[in-house]
Amino acid sequence: MELSEKVILLTGASGGIGKPILEHLNKNVKVLIGSGRKNLQDFTRIKEDEKFNYMPMDLNSEDNLKFLFSYIIEEYGRLDVMINTIGGSLYSHTIEDFPIEEYDKVIDTNLKTAFMLTKESIKYMKRNGDQGGSILHFVSSSSKDVSHNKAPYGIAKAGLEALIRYSASEAAKYNIKVNGISPTYVFTERHEKEIEVQSRRTNRSVAEIEEKIMEGQILKRKLYPKDIFPLVDLLIQTEVITGKIYDCTLGKT
C-alpha cells in the first residue's frame, strides 16, 4: 500500500516529537488519527477534516486505549500503522531516593502503555490479511547510555527495545513489522524552551548549554524532528525490515 492509502494512528501527538510528526504526515495519508493529552485548539497548523481526526485522551488507561482502537475500526474499517511517541523521564532522583510511586508512573508511561498499544495493534492489524501493518515505537538513547538520575526511564526504554524484538517475532506471521527509532536529544519546541529557562536560571548562555548537550556526538549539530522524518517514512512503509531499533545519535565519541 502507498502511504496515501494508509490509516495511521499517532500517539503522543500533542507535544514533543509527536506534534511535528503529526504535521509531517497530515495530508499525506488516507486517514491520520492523532491522540494526546492536549485539545485540538493547541494545534496551530492542523485542522480537523475528513482525513484527520484528533482524540484527546490519556492512553495510560487501558479502557481509554481499547476504546480508541475500537473507534478507529468502527469508523475507518482498518488500521495500517501505529506510531507511538508517548514517553518522558518525568522525575530525577538517584535510585536509592526514587519513590516507588514515581518509578511506577515512569514505567507505566514509557513501557506499559507501549505494551498495550502493541497488543491492540497486533489484534487489529492481523485482520488486514497479507497487507499486515507496521508498528513504530520511539525509544531513547537512554536505553543504552546512562542518563543522570533517570534510571527508571532508561530501564523502561531498555524494556521497550525488548518489546520491539519480541513483538516483531510474534507478529511476523501476520506480516506486521515492528521497529523502533532511538534518538539522542531532539531539539523540539519544548526542549528549546527548557534550554532557555535553564540558561536564565544558571546564567549560562544557550550556546554553552547546547554545546554540552552535543559534546558526545561526532556530528556537532542539533538533531531536529525533521531530521528523523525520512526514517519514519521508511519504517511505516517497509515490507522487509522488522525487529530493528535505529539509533539516531549523530555518532558517538
Is the separation of the CB atoms in 16 and 10 below 8 Å?
no
CA distance 212 to 232: 27
pLDDT, the chain, mean:
92
Helix (H, G, I), strand (E, B) or coil at 60: coil
In a domain, 253, yes or no: no
11: left (phi over 0), alpha (psi -120 to 50) or beta: beta
CA distance 153 to 184: 14
pLDDT band at 244 (very low <50, low <70, confident <90, very high): very high
CA distance 105 to 188: 23
In a domain, 18, yes or no: yes
Q: Please give the residue range of the domain that contains residue 205.
A: 187-222
The verdict on 230 and 171 lying in the same domain is: yes
List the 52-56 sheet strands across, edge first: 52-56, 31-36, 7-11, 81-84, 133-138, 176-183, 245-248
0.75 exceeded by pTM: yes
Q: What CATH number corresponds to the domain at position 78?
A: 3.40.50.720
User: What's the distance, CA 209 to chain centroid?
Assistant: 25
CA distance 81 to 66: 16
Question: Quick one: which of 226, 227, 231 has its CA closest to 180?
Answer: 231
- 24 exposure class (CB count in 10 Å sphere: 0-12, 13-18, 19+): middle
Query: Which ranges constitute the DSSP H helices of 86-171?
Result: 100-107, 113-125, 151-171
The verdict on 100 and 205 lying in the same domain is: no
In a domain, 252, yes or no: no
Q: Is the pLDDT confidence value at 230 over 60?
A: yes
Q: Is the pLDDT confidence value at 111 over 90?
A: yes
In a domain, 150, yes or no: yes
Question: Quick one: which of 134, 162, 141 has its CA closest to 10?
Answer: 134
The verdict on 97 and 37 lying in the same domain is: yes
Give the total number of structural domains in the chain: 2
Q: Is the pLDDT confidence value at 48 over 70?
A: no
Q: Is the pLDDT confidence value at 49 over 70?
A: no
**pLDDT at position 113:** 97
In a domain, 168, yes or no: yes
Segment 177-213, tens digit of pLDDT: 999 999 999 999 888 999 999 999 999 999 999 999 9
Is the separation of the CB atoms in 90 and 142 below 8 Å?
no
The verdict on 200 and 232 lying in the same domain is: no
